[in-house]
Amino acid sequence: MRRGSIALAAATVATGPARAAETDVPPWMLEQGTPVDELPYGSPSPFEKSVVRRPHETLPFPTSASVLTPLQDLEGIITPNGLHYIRSHAGTPAIDPAQHRLLVHGMVDRPLSFGMDDLARFPSISRLHFLECSGNTSFYKASLIKPNWNVQDTHGLLSCAEWTGVRLADVLAEVGVKPGVKWILAEGADAAAMTRSVPIEKAQDDAILAYAQNGERLRPEQGYPLRLFLPGYEGNINIKWLRRLKLGDQPFETREETSKYTDLLTDGIARQFNFVMEVKSVITRPSPGRGPAQPGFCEVTGLAWSGNGRITRVEVSTDGGAKWGNASLQEPILSKCLTRFRLPWTWNGGPATLKSRATDETGMVQPTRESQLAERGPNFYYHYNAIHTWQIAPGGEVKLAV
Amino acid sequence: MRYSVALLLGFGLMTSAAAADPPHQGFGRPATPQEIAAADIDVRADGAGLPPGNGSVAQGEALFASTCAACHGERGQKPIIPALRLTGGRGTLATPNAVQTVGSYWPYATTLFDYIRRAMPFPAPQSLSPDQVYAVTAYVLRLNDIVPDGTVLDADSLPKIRMPNRDGFVDSYKPGH
């Protein structure tokens, strides 16, 4: 109690108890709540303290690791900034934005250095896009999958936000791209000095140098004060803490695009520069860990996305894939963005096997796990996008099915 | 075009060439050669960007034992996951349990130099001198039987090393996607 609240408290004592006793008024109606200026930034209700990011398991190197978004507890399509998944290779650097600069050099007419104030002078752009780690849902090897996983474990290296920044194309016009440029090296200012090669076509198309996320400045763990954002591309290439862009005529063959983030096929040959996160979906409710399903009406809802464009269709099956029905798609339905889908369903209390199958505007449809494994083999690790399955037991328990 | 006439003349630009340039606003400031050199630490597959200096297998062996083995294991064997496994795995890429290491999987030796230089050792990145990075690179390649004992690596010799899996990758990038 602060300020002039003594008088208010006295008034409550004079009139409150009798009425409360008679009518069972909840206690939070019988006194003033917390002052509006108590939490200048704000935080979720204490009753939501279980809705947090977490890793799969204890981390031997907690700066080179990931924590996953609790998709099972989220609504709509936007990931709150405090719940956006994190994958970092050397922790989160503490960068003073006043000292941070972006160097753009290499095959350019005018090598330039930009402070954050300089970048803020370019025209700004805001776009809603998902971001997915290419290692999300790596279900190629059954031995790497744990039967007690929930959707946070299976799909939680996936988040979605409104990203605001400037078009990389505008910054490239400022430095002047020399003829023959094919790739741009992007480098982060973390202790990994993370580097990836970005194709010039993508850089000139929809690439963003982002400084804000869901209306506020980037969170430190998302690259504060500046990150590269390449809509639809695998998470790793969206370089955080961006400090340098170097234009060149060939890829730079960094560690993260040779030894990692490449896809090894059964014949021993690996696919390199495989950037796009292809069409995928997952049912977020019912899903494991949310208590048993209740017989009767049971809404099936989830998320669908494609790095190639808009989602055009999501089908849901409750009988393991024998019959499929179209789910309704919640607007907005945006390119390279999460789309929320819903299907009204009545669960009869018997065993049920739930699957979702998304289609994007290019006509690509999620494959079955069996066909994806047959095509790619057991040494593939990244870019898994097959149909996902939950099983409901007669008691209502929801479990992962592989 | 917002650059002043004096600035244009200072850059020695012809009027016609300036008119053909895409519009630019004069945002940011020119990057100095010194700051570019300080930041420009990447090494390309053809060796572009390799610094002067050299290092031997023997020097790398001592450095590896004191600086790298705590995470990557003695002689690169038995790393603490997820520290990278550096050795072994040759011949496994087309089997159901492929082991992807520097020796079995990495297509370019230059990438090893680039990565060690920028990101290792894990507790103190960018603390090694160019000579030390050449030495550790040479030792890790020796562990994989890619170079013999006595090898000394420098900017000339490192890009000439042909890695066993050099032809093991296909480019799946499709412009427009």
B176 within a domain of the structure (yes/no) = no
Instruction: Determine the residue among B169, B171, B174 to mutate to test chain A binding: the one whose Cβ has the most chain A Cβ atoms within 10 Å.
Output: B169
pLDDT at A345 exceeding the cut of 70: yes
pLDDT, average across residues A22-37: 93
B117 within a domain of the structure (yes/no) = yes
Kindly report, residue by residue over A146-183, the tens digit of the pLDDT: 999 999 999 999 999 999 999 999 999 999 999 999 99
Task: State whether residue A275 sits within 8 Å of chain B by CB.
Answer: yes
Number of domains within chain B: 1
Kindly report, residue by residue over A118-154, the tens digit of the pLDDT: 999 999 999 999 999 999 999 999 999 999 999 999 9
pLDDT at A265 exceeding the cut of 50: yes
Per-residue confidence at A196, pLDDT binned at 50, 70, 90? very high
Of B25, B82, B100, Cβ closest to residue A174: B25
Among A183, A207, A206, residue whose Cα is nearest residue A195 = A183
pLDDT at position A3: 43
Task: State whether residue A138 sits within 8 Å of chain B by CB.
Answer: no
pLDDT at A370 exceeding the cut of 80: yes
pLDDT, average across residues A98-105: 98
pLDDT at position A402: 85
Which domain, by its residues, includes B77?
55-160
CATH number at residue B130: 1.10.760.10
Q: How near does any CA of chain A get to the CA of B115, in Å?
A: 6
Among A186, A222, A226, residue whose Cα is nearest residue A101 = A226
Of B35, B110, B176, Cβ closest to residue A201: B176
Pairing of strands B29-30, B54-56: unpaired
pLDDT, average across residues A79-108: 98
Task: State whether residue A308 sits within 8 Å of chain B by CB.
Answer: yes
Q: Which class for A392: exposed (0-12), middle (13-18), buried (19 or more C-beta within 10 A)?
A: buried
B112 within a domain of the structure (yes/no) = yes
Provide CB contacts within 8 A for B124, sequence distance 6+: none
Q: Residue B95 in 3-state DSSP?
A: coil
DSSP state letter for A257: G
Per-residue confidence at A15, pLDDT binned at 50, 70, 90? low
Least confident stretch, A5-14, A78-87, A182-191, A228-237: A5-14
pLDDT at A5 exceeding the cut of 50: no
Of B23, B28, B118, Cβ closest to residue A113: B28
B3 within a domain of the structure (yes/no) = no
Q: What is the pLDDT along chain B (177 residues), one digit of tens a residue?
A: 344 444 444 444 444 444 444 568 899 999 999 999 999 999 999 999 999 999 999 999 999 999 999 999 999 988 987 788 999 999 999 999 999 999 999 999 999 999 999 999 999 999 999 999 999 999 999 999 999 999 999 999 999 999 999 999 999 998 877
Contact A379 B41 (CB under 8 A): no
pLDDT > 70 in chain A, percent: 95
Q: How near does any CA of chain A get to the CA of B172, in Å?
A: 6
pLDDT at position B19: 46
User: Computed from CA positions of residues B124, B128, B134, B135, in that sequence, does the dihedral angle turn out positive or negative?
Assistant: negative
Per-residue confidence at A56, pLDDT binned at 50, 70, 90? very high
d(CA B159, CA B107): 11
Of A60, A111, A270, Cβ closest to residue B31: A111
pLDDT at position A17: 54
Contact A253 B31 (CB under 8 A): no
Q: Where are the domains of chain A?
A: 1-42, 86-271, 280-401
Kindly report, residue by residue over A293-330, the tens digit of the pLDDT: 999 999 999 999 999 999 999 999 999 999 999 999 99
pLDDT at position A23: 78
Of A193, A264, A274, Cβ closest to residue B98: A264
Q: How near does any CA of chain A get to the CA of B119, in Å?
A: 5
Residues A110 and A176 sit within 8 Å (Cβ to Cβ): yes
B48 within a domain of the structure (yes/no) = no
CATH number of A86-271: 3.90.420.10
Per-residue confidence at A261, pLDDT binned at 50, 70, 90? very high
B68 within a domain of the structure (yes/no) = yes
- Closest chain A CA to residue B94: A268
Q: How near does any CA of chain A get to the CA of B27, in Å?
A: 6
Contact A250 B45 (CB under 8 A): yes
Task: State whether residue A116 sits within 8 Å of chain B by CB.
Answer: no
Contact B122 A64 (CB under 8 A): yes
Q: How far is residue A39 CA from its own chain's centroid?
A: 27
Kindly report, residue by residue over A354-369, the tens digit of the pLDDT: 999 999 999 999 999 9
pLDDT at position B105: 98
Show the DSSP H helices in A42-144 as ranges. 116-119
pLDDT at position A6: 43
B77 within a domain of the structure (yes/no) = yes
Q: Which class for A348: exposed (0-12), middle (13-18), buried (19 or more C-beta within 10 A)?
A: exposed
d(CA A46, CA A34): 13
User: In this structure, what token pair is assigned to residue A211?
Assistant: 């400084």
Give domain A280-401's CATH number out of 3.40.640.10, 3.30.2270.10, 2.60.40.10, 2.60.40.650: 2.60.40.650
ipTM score for this prediction: 0.91
Kindly report, residue by residue over A233-257, the tens digit of the pLDDT: 999 999 999 999 999 999 999 999 9
d(CA A111, CA A44): 45
